[in-house]
Amino acid sequence: MDKIIRATAAEGFVKMAVVDARGAVERARTIHACSPTAAAALGRTLCAASLLGDAMKEEKGSLTIRINGGGPIGSVVAVSDSSGNVRGYVENPQLHLPLRGDGKLDVGGAVGRDGMLTVSRDLGLKEPYIGSTALVSGEIAEDLTAYLTESEQVPSACALGVLVDTDRSVKAAGGFIVQLMPGADEALIAKLEDNIFMMDQLTTILDEDGAEMVFKQVLKGLEYHLVSEKEIEYRCYCSRERVEEAIRSIGPEELESIIAEGKDVSVSCQFCDKVYSFTPDELRALRQE
């Protein structure tokens, strides 16, 4: 069961959220036939979007993270609703690089760091709120930490991880964000830094002990309280109606050219594995509309 758990510690000066998203990341890997490197890049971004999206107060809001560092994997995109349900894609899902010297997947090499991490919040207003920051490493967690600190002025620590099994399936995936509220003293900051430095590898904790153990290790020595827990999933909001709207938007001349070919047209959703087919007669009806 994928879930997001939130907690507060140190009399409210610390807020922390943990996402366990193995199922959602495995669903994304399957849909897009991702290589291990691509699965890790997309999975980390999905976990980040889920954590930020779930923190939105707007009931029908959505949040999009787009990362493009100039690397061979291309753009990585993840979208979350305000409940933490996610969907996403990576531009070159079959790209795979050799492991790094330490035996880990080379996500930073695939993503690159000559580019930006952009976060767009759709709050239901005319224009979305957009913030961005230059990539630090392309490893995504460090880049998200920089974004939160620079663009949102919130001292934060972030970890994201995806563990890919020998059969290429996702064995564990998740992440956490710890944020300090105004007034937190230096001793508290040092305590958290030490705990994070000494903690076990995130994906190992999630795989062997579960999300609750992440809190115990990061907030070790601090009194904390769990304040919420909710299930999340990989959820796409595509529909035939939305595809029809997209077809209408391409313009009458181009639509007429497609109809003139006299063939059925299939449209695939970029986020999921659904395919929507339209006959020439159905396309003519859309043109008339």
Instruction: Calculate the average pLDDT of the chain.
Output: 94
Q: What angle do CA 110, 26, 240 make, to 5 degrees?
A: 100
The pLDDT of residue 167 is 95
Nearest CA among 79, 94, 71 for reference residue 168: 94
Asked if residue 110 has pLDDT above 90, the reply is yes
% of the chain with per-residue pLDDT over 90: 79
Q: What angle do CA 147, 15, 11 make, to 5 degrees?
A: 140
State mean pLDDT over 20-25: 98
Distance of CA 149 to the CA centre of its chain: 18
Q: How far apart are CA 117 and CA 74, in angstroms?
A: 13
Q: How far apart are CA 287 and CA 289, in angstroms?
A: 5
The pLDDT of residue 60 is 84
- pLDDT tens digits along 139-197: 999 999 999 998 888 889 999 999 999 999 999 999 999 999 988 888 898 999 999 99
Residue 29, token pair as written in the block = 């890997």
The pLDDT of residue 128 is 86
% of the chain with per-residue pLDDT over 70: 100
Strand partners, 161: 174
3-state secondary structure of 233: coil
State mean pLDDT over 217-224: 96
